[in-house]
Structure 1
Amino acid sequence: MESPAQPPTPDAPATDADAADRLLLDEAAAVIAATPAGRLVVIDDVAGALTLGAAERGAQQIRVHQDLITGERALAAAAEARGLTDRYTSLPLGPELFAGATTVLLRLPRSVDRLAEVAGLIAAFADPSVTVIAAGRIKHMSVSMNDVLRTVFDRVDVSHARQKSRVLTATGARPEAARAVLGAWPRTADHPDIGLRVAAYGGVFAGTKVDIGTRFLLQNLARLPKTATAVDLGCGTGLIAAALATANPDLRVLAVDRSAAAVDSATWTAAANQLSDRVEVVRADGLETVADGTAELVLLNPPFHNDAAVSTAIARHLFAEAARALAPGGELWCVWNSHLQYRPSLEKMIGSTRQVARNSKFTVTSSRRR
């Protein structure tokens, strides 16, 4: 059975095009060939298959946005290997990315909120004649995706299925409706029980909610060691970073995530809680911006999915990053689903690990760097 393309990590190298990528490129072949240079945009390409596939079909001056920095790097490496580095430019998600675009190739996100935000940007800022060709694996698609597209486009056509994948084609952009949709981003929510406002862009884990693992970790913040600095690793909306900075007015916090949407969300969360002067938000793979042996305290609520697949690879990569970056005696505080049994890995990779708290679902541990 074919394995779906996964976001690349150090433990899972970039994969080739999967069935949804190939179907999208086949369905879009004639449109790609007819699109003038500089008018094609590719969104959320997992590891570069769509961008390079379009380039090999003659597309020039492609504008690309990938949410994950690891995806950007996978595309850059593949483009260099194929001699196609001059065929595309990576840009942030925003008006410049879509200005004047007549064709958009989109790998459908699993999050309907992410699709709503991206579709709104396309309809608001692309050429009114824009055609959006979006593909996904059927098991991750829903009828609500068609409804989201119809909110800002007049017509949505659905392709026949092939290899458990399908394509949606949207035309007839409605800019006024799109601008109304965009006014909802980022979404915000107040949480009086923790004294914070959370901001979230589409597709960020938990959105404006406080997920139960993070909530359990927050209940144990008073037991943290006193430090001058701390790192919120895999920060998502920046909720942990904001809670740390709020609890300790002298603390400076670095919030790190590989997702551009997460970084934007965490930046807004810090600003919404008047913490921008003490919370720095960085888009990076793990702790690559932190020098070896310098971090005093790292907090982590690691993901256990790599896109749709259950995987511990990302968590173990982040444990290794913490092990490298922590100063001797520095601590990694981690909350994890107890069934994942991370404690032996934490002991091996970082050092002495103790259980701080445990409930019916989660465990909080503290690992001290040797």
Structure 2
Amino acid sequence: MPTDRQDDALTTLMLPFANGLLDWPEAGGALFLRARDGWPLHRQPLPGLVCEQGFRPEAKALAHSGLALREEGEAADRRFPLVMLLPPRQRAESRALMARAVAATAPGGRVLACVPNNEGARSAEDDLKHLVGKVSSLSKHKCRVFWSAPLEGGVDADLLARWRDLDAPRPVLDGRFHSRPGVFAWDRVDTASALLVEHLPADLRGRAADLGAGFGYLSHALLGRCAGISALDVFEAEARALALARRNLADARVPVGFHWHDVTEGLPGRYDVVVSNPPFHGQGRGDRPDIGRRFIQAAAQALEPGGRLWMVANRHLPYEDVLDAAFGEVRVHAQRDGFKVIEGTRARGGGRPR
């Protein structure tokens, strides 16, 4: 069942087919990079459509609608007569994805992309022009959809090779970690996580979970500071980030489980400690405090009696009511640089919070 949410970028991406400017390929199918589900994908038959999406909630929505999914890099030698993409706003990541789209296009095929105007639509269109030459475009719904002429040569091979490597994993933070563009705070320690680590007590012990772990900085700090942690589960909805966390925690002193998982759906295990710097945006720009609230609820439901949540959040986000409802004791340990460090302790005895 397709989602009925309004997705202007997806709607605009499919306009050239709805308007008769482009025809869906009769054979060979199409590849959709960073695909999202929505009614525009179900308005007309799209035979042979294959989707790729590394963000767990979006991947689940695509699968739930019956659309074919593949993992990044799967069947990498296959070429398609049409490759569609919704480029991310991070420029290096966007260029790398665009280069991969061009490389996955069969001779005579097209690349089709759409970007919201306020996320660099004209720059993204210019990037495709640099790679392939002639590009056509259409603007609607405050978005810009643009597509190549049939690719019969003329691709800038040197630029293509350079751009494909722009989001490759690389050492960051003096070589202590590996990261890549597009991952949250990919080349630095974000201020919120640094504040949380500064205040983490050394006496945390038992089974631990890191919710929304990114490339693994907070997990690494937890294991380094708290000798009593005996096992760790890492939860991350973005597959690209989870792969980095797996690499960065490969030499961890305790068993580590890595889970491509949407924390808002709850947690599968029981823990003595949960740490988190929960996201407060979805894939758009607006605040989504509901995500952080669900992280808090999921943590409370998974913690053993007496278990402790240590989290950091923007000071303005309204989490106090859900924290008070889920935990027997709540303390704010620090407020600085627009963030707050909070500890919640599960009450001993009684049932699990709802």
| Alignment TM-score > 0.5, same fold | yes
**1:33-87 CA-partner distances (Å, limit 9, x unpaired):** 441444301122333445434xx2x32232101232111222233x2xxxxx3xx
Residue 174 of structure 1: how far off its partner (Å): 4.5
User: TM-score, normalised on structure 2?
Assistant: 0.84
- Paired with 2:31 and 2:264, the residues of 1 have a C-alpha distance of 30
User: TM-score, normalised on structure 1?
Assistant: 0.81
Unaligned 5+ runs, structure 2:
348-354
Counterpart check, 1:60 vs 2:47:
yes
**1:215-266 CA-partner distances (Å, limit 9, x unpaired):** 1112123x15331321110111221112223335664321111112221232
**Pairing of 1:346-357 with structure 2 (within 5 A):** 346-357=323-334
Residue 175 of structure 1: how far off its partner (Å): 5.0
The corresponding residue for 2:128 is: 149
The corresponding residue for 2:300 is: 323
SS where residue 363 of structure 1 aligns? strand
- Paired with 2:96 and 2:328, the residues of 1 have a C-alpha distance of 42
**1:110-154 CA-partner distances (Å, limit 9, x unpaired):** 222331221232233442444111112212224432344345x22
Aligned pairs, how many?
339
- Paired with 1:201 and 1:186, the residues of 2 have a C-alpha distance of 6
Determine which of 142, 154, 167 is the counterpart of 1:164: 142
**1:313-368 CA-partner distances (Å, limit 9, x unpaired):** 11111111112111111111110111224233211123311112221411101101
Counterpart check, 1:180 vs 2:162:
yes
- Paired with 2:221 and 2:86, the residues of 1 have a C-alpha distance of 34
Counterpart check, 1:44 vs 2:34:
yes
Q: Percent identity?
A: 24
- Paired with 1:239 and 1:156, the residues of 2 have a C-alpha distance of 43
Counterpart check, 1:335 vs 2:312:
yes
The corresponding residue for 1:304 is: 280
SS where residue 316 of structure 2 aligns? helix
1:233–1:257 CA contact under 8 A, matched in 2: yes
The corresponding residue for 1:209 is: 188
- Paired with 2:11 and 2:182, the residues of 1 have a C-alpha distance of 24
The corresponding residue for 2:78 is: 99
In structure 2, do the counterparts of structure 1 residues 287 and 255 end up closer, same or farther at CA, with 3 Å as the change threshold? farther
Counterpart check, 1:279 vs 2:256:
yes
The corresponding residue for 2:214 is: 236
Letter of the structure 2 residue corresponding to residue 96 of structure 1:
A
1:111–1:203 CA contact under 8 A, matched in 2: yes
Counterpart check, 1:120 vs 2:107:
no
Unaligned 5+ runs, structure 1:
1-12, 80-84
SS where residue 183 of structure 2 aligns? coil
2:206–2:273 CA contact under 8 A, matched in 1: no
Determine which of 126, 136, 141 is the counterpart of 2:115: 136
2:202–2:226 CA contact under 8 A, matched in 1: no
SS where residue 347 of structure 1 aligns? helix
1:17–1:50 CA contact under 8 A, matched in 2: no
1:188–1:208 CA contact under 8 A, matched in 2: no
1:41–1:103 CA contact under 8 A, matched in 2: yes
SS where residue 249 of structure 2 aligns? helix
SS where residue 106 of structure 2 aligns? coil
In structure 2, do the counterparts of structure 1 residues 327 and 338 end up closer, same or farther at CA, with 3 Å as the change threshold? same
SS where residue 186 of structure 2 aligns? coil
The corresponding residue for 1:259 is: 238
- Paired with 2:272 and 2:134, the residues of 1 have a C-alpha distance of 52
- Paired with 1:135 and 1:183, the residues of 2 have a C-alpha distance of 22
SS where residue 185 of structure 2 aligns? coil
More helix by share: 1
**1:288-330 CA-partner distances (Å, limit 9, x unpaired):** 68446x1111111112222222120111111111121111111
In structure 2, do the counterparts of structure 1 residues 339 and 290 end up closer, same or farther at CA, with 3 Å as the change threshold? closer
